[in-house]
Amino acid sequence: MTAAEREAFLSAVHVGVLAVEREGRAPLAVPIWYAYEDGEILLWMERDTVKDRSIRRAGRFSFVVQSETVPYRYVTAEGSVISADVPPTRAQALSIASRYLPEGEAAAYVDAALNEKSVLVRMCPEKWLSNDQSKG
C-alpha cells in the first residue's frame, strides 16, 4: 500500500489489535477501539490496567488493523508513545466511541465510561507494514 492508502485504511472503522512487549511474558495482544487523527493513533483506556501498565513500561507498541473479508488487507504501525498521562476530553472520547456505536449510544457510553481514571494514549507511527491482496 502507498502511504496514503495505508493512512486511509487505518482511518476507516476497524477494531485494532494493540501489541505491547512485556518483561518475562509473551507480548500483550488485545483488541481495542481507536481513532487515527492527524497522523496519530489514539487509544482511550483506564489507568493502571494491564494495557496501561504495559504501554508505560515499554514506551512503545505495535498496532494492527485488518479487513476480514476478501480482498484481505492489513496495516501494522509501530512507534513510541507520545503521551499517556493526559485524560481524554469528552470530545476525544466521543470521537473514538462514535466510530463503533450509533450517535446516541456513543454519547451514553462516553458519559458512563469517561472518568478520573481515563487516559488517552497517543502514538505517531514510525514504521509500517501493510498488504493489500487486491493488488495481485
| CB distance 42 to 111 below 8 Å | no
Q: What share of the chain is helix, strand, coil (3-state, %, to 5)?
A: 25, 40, 30
Residue ranges per structural domain of the chain: 3-132
| CB distance 100 to 13 below 8 Å | yes
pTM for the complete prediction? 0.93
Number of other residues whose CB lies within 10 A of the CB of residue 16? 21
Task: Say whether pLDDT at 135 is over 90.
Answer: no
64-78 pLDDT per residue, tens: 999 989 999 999 999
Task: Say whether pLDDT at 106 is over 80.
Answer: yes
What's the mean pLDDT in 35-50? Answer: 96
68 against 115, higher pLDDT: 115
What's the mean pLDDT in 77-92? Answer: 96
Domain 3-132 architecture: Roll (2.30)
